[in-house]
């Protein structure tokens, strides 16, 4: 089945280029709404896999649109796009129920990668109130606390960042070089030993004392977060 995406964007040129690109890149079926009010109506009347919304929109802005959709218990993943790149807008957007946020101008390839990550997360990882949940693991992005069931796990900031990255990318073998680049911001000609060392650290804290292991080694490549062996 084709993926269905709703784009809420009042600027016709941007809406058109997004639609054209995503139809091609994601083989998706796309609807466009040109203001917040019709975006809301579209979202109520159709089932979408993802909603992509601008922040500054006529009638209802993107943040208000997110809030209203969540109030209606419409749980579709929402990615916000905005030319405003003040960090507080990002926080307001995420608090209103958006799942991710991308500043304009953005790179189309990055947009597609984010959309795919959102799809994976929607299928496997639940995000609510700034918390990411995978199996019995919960990581709180506000308080930076990590829990498995009722057991609190203390991680260092770097360990937390690594675990957050894994939880945002579940059920996929992630090469060590990609982990290094995403979590440490280093490129792949630098030794990936640090990834192995840190994966061992978080394994000792997150998996060691629990029957169900979540972090698995894919020999020769990297690691995968998954719920079954």
Least separation in angstroms between residue 70's CB and Ca ion is 21
Q: Does 10 contact Ca ion by CB under 5 A?
A: yes
Question: Which of 127, 126, 132 is closest to 146 using CA atoms?
Answer: 132
Among 54, 99, 100, 159, binds Ca ion (CB under 5 A): 54
Stretch that binds Ca ion, among 4-12, 45-53, 124-132, 169-177 (CB under 5 A): 4-12
In terms of C-beta distances under 8 Å and separation of at least 24 residues, what long-range contacts does 24-27 make, across chains too? 25/108, 25/112, 26/112, 26/115, 26/116, 27/2, 27/3
* Closest to Ca ion by CB, 84 or 128: 84
* Closest to Ca ion by CB, 82 or 192: 82
Q: Which of residues 190-219 bind Ca ion (CB under 5 A)?
A: none
Distance CA 6, CA 188 (A): 36
Least separation in angstroms between residue 6's CB and Ca ion is 15
Among 2, 20, 41, 56, binds Ca ion (CB under 5 A): 56
Stretch that binds Ca ion, among 6-14, 25-33, 101-109, 135-143 (CB under 5 A): 6-14
Residues 6 or more apart whose Cβ sits within 8 Å of residue 5: 22, 26, 28, 29, 30, 31, 48, 49, 50, 51, 52, 115
- What residue ranges bind Ca ion (CB under 5 A)? 10, 54, 56
């Amino acid at each position: 089945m084709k993926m269905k995406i709703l784009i809420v964007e009042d600027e016709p040129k941007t809406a058109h280029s997004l639609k054209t690109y995503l139809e091609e890149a994601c083989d998706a079926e796309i609807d466009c709404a040109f203001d917040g009010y019709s975006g809301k109506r579209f979202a109520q009347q159709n089932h979408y896999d993802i909603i992509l919304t601008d922040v500054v929109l006529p009638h209802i802005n993107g943040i208000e649109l997110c809030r209203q959709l969540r109030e209606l218990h419409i749980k579709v993943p929402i990615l916000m796009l905005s030319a405003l790149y003040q960090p507080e807008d990002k926080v307001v957007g995420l608090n209103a129920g958006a799942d991710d946020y991308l500043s304009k101008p953005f790179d189309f390839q990055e947009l597609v990668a984010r959309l795919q990550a959102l799809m994976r997360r929607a299928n496997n990882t639940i995000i609510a109130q700034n918390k990411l949940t995978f199996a019995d693991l919960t990581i709180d992005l506000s308080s930076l606390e990590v829990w498995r069931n009722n057991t609190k796990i203390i991680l260092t900031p770097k360990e937390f960042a690594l675990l957050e990255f894994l939880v945002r990318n579940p059920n996929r073998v992630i090469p060590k070089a990609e982990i290094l680049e995403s979590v440490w911001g280093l490129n792949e000609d630098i030794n990936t030993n640090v990834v192995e060392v840190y994966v061992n650290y978080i394994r000792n804290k997150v998996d060691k004392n629990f029957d169900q292991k979540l972090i698995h080694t894919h020999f020769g490549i990297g690691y995968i977060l998954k719920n079954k062996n």
